[in-house]
Amino acid sequence: MFGFPHKPYLSKLVAGVDEAGRGSILGPLVIAGIGIPANRVSDLTRLGIRDSKTLTSKARERLIKEIINLADCLSVVKFECHEVDRYVFLNGLNELEALGMANVISNIRADQIYIDACDVNLDRYKHSIQKYMVDPRNICCLHHADTINIVVSAASILAKIIRDKEIQKIRNIYQDIGSGYPSDEKTMRFIKKWIRVHESSPRFARKSWKPLRNIL
């Protein structure tokens, strides 16, 4: 986990938290949060901040510089494949995400926190996060928060950029790995070839994912 130091501020601090890489078969799960003074939230709208999935990589790289300038603090938690596997084998991926979000929130210390919830039951997910926190504070869980709350949209950009950089590190070594998602034929061809050659899965692949288990 890393955090961006708090700056002095006079306005109420609003935070957004989101993840990237939840459904990926390669690379880490990244959870990111951004805390921004409420009187600067309108600046995010002015910049054209929106859900990272709707932006090009070039646009995300441009916007993250603006987000960092506006933010009071940033926090990121990264879970490697073996950590994701441990929770998935126990049917607890939502629990792992709740733990990561609790860590991010604790590092931000905002007055109001908005979260993109992965659980269909919003109250249950909120309680899952709060049980890992000494000070639960004011948490609002939303479905599709990355599209309806602009601070969460900003967090989604941060999470996506960190996640993409992690995938690029793998790509720099192994080249043709695709996007890292099981829906990507290039990614699955890479995994199948790896298993044929090495008779085991890559360390940067999630062994708990059904497509990989089926190949093995």
What are the structural domains, with CATH classification, of the chain?
Answer: 2-172 (3.30.420.10)
Q: Strands, DSSP E only, in 99-187? A: 112-116, 139-142
Instruction: Output the pLDDT for position 1.
Output: 55
Pairing relation of β-strands 13-20 and 112-116?
A: parallel
Instruction: Output the pLDDT for position 9.
Output: 47
Instruction: Evaluate whether 52 touches 160 at the Cβ level (below 8 Å).
Output: yes
Instruction: Output the pLDDT for position 91.
Output: 87
29-37, strands of its sheet edge to edge: 2-3, 73-79, 29-37, 13-20, 112-116, 139-142
Cα–Cα nearest to 20, from 10, 28, 9: 28
Residues 17 and 98: their CA atoms lie apart, in Å, by 11
Per-residue pLDDT 10s for the chain (216 aa) are 555 554 554 569 999 999 999 999 999 999 999 999 999 999 999 999 999 999 999 999 999 999 999 999 999 999 999 999 999 999 899 999 999 999 999 999 899 999 999 999 999 999 999 999 988 779 999 999 999 999 999 999 999 999 999 999 999 999 889 999 999 999 999 999 999 999 999 999 999 999 999 988
Task: State the Cα angle at 118 between 115 and 123, rounded to 5°.
Answer: 70
pTM for this predicted structure: 0.91
How far is Cα of residue 151 from the mean position of the Cα atoms in its chain?
14
